[in-house]
Amino acid sequence: AMNRSFRNVLFGAFGKVDEEDAAMAAAGGERVQEASVGDAAMLLSGAGSVIVCPGYGMAVAQAQHVVGELAEILEANGTQVRYAIHPVAGRMPGHMNVLLAEAKIPYTSLMELEEINEDFKNTDVALVVGANDVVNPAAKHNPASSIYGMPVLNADLARSCIVLKRSMRPGFAGIENELFFAPNTVLTFGDAKDTLEKVVEALR
């Protein structure tokens, strides 16, 4: 398991956000915690278990091969890496499976939502690669949300959550994602492929 004090120190260093950037603030006034590539690499290197949550943004960035590279490095260091596949992630059924198979990621590491959702709470890091609505906790508890009742991946329950995202723009459902403002979540902005290539470089 991740060293608790190390994680607290790391999270204490986050949140240095430009106050002028209104797009970073939620309607309720909460702010996101931004993490550099180095911060993200440190969190991942200290993790005993990682669940990757891929989404449409991974497809757009063509980031599946570098996701596989990152997994190889983490696994070589003894980290358990698995992939949580949401049935509607991407733009067609099976979209994520096809992309991850292209990257030669073993099929046995791909887990359906029902198989893996209970495991997030015992996982050190959830790594969200270009997924949005399918990891929004509002679906679980906010009856006013347009996605209320939709099954979502429990990325919010991991000890830490790293979200790779191009911008604060909403996903397909057009709504704000509560996950991005959670105290255990950090966001690393930029093209997912570029970001992951830099993370891989930092971990080599």
pLDDT for residue 60 is more than 90: yes
d(CA 54, CA 91): 12
**156 in active site:** no
- Class of domain 30-203 as given by CATH: alpha beta
pLDDT for residue 29 is more than 70: no
Q: What is this structure's pTM?
A: 0.86
Ramachandran sector of residue 90 (left: φ over 0; alpha: ψ -120 to 50; beta: rest): left
Q: How far apart are the first and last CA of the chain?
A: 21
pLDDT for residue 16 is more than 50: no
Between 40 and 90, name the one with better pLDDT. Answer: 40
SS3 185: strand
pLDDT for residue 39 is more than 70: yes
82-134: pLDDT as tens digits: 999 999 988 888 999 999 999 999 999 999 999 999 999 999 999 999 999 99
Question: Which of 18, 21, 39, 133 is flagged as catalytic?
Answer: 133
d(CA 156, CA 166): 19
> What pLDDT shows up at residue 17?
39
> Helix and strand tally (H, E) in the chain?
8, 6
Residue carrying the six token digits 């120190």: 9
pLDDT for residue 168 is more than 90: no
| Domain residue ranges in the chain | 30-203
Per-chain mean pLDDT for the chain: 87
Q: What is the crossing angle of helices 4-12 and 37-45, to 10°?
A: 170
Q: Are 53 and 84 in contact (CB under 8 A)?
A: yes
Mean pLDDT across 180-192: 95
68-80: pLDDT as tens digits: 999 999 999 999 9
> What pLDDT shows up at residue 15?
42
Task: Give percent above pLDDT 90 in the chain.
Answer: 74
Nearest Cα to Cα of residue 186 among 55, 21, 41: 41
> What pLDDT shows up at residue 28?
54
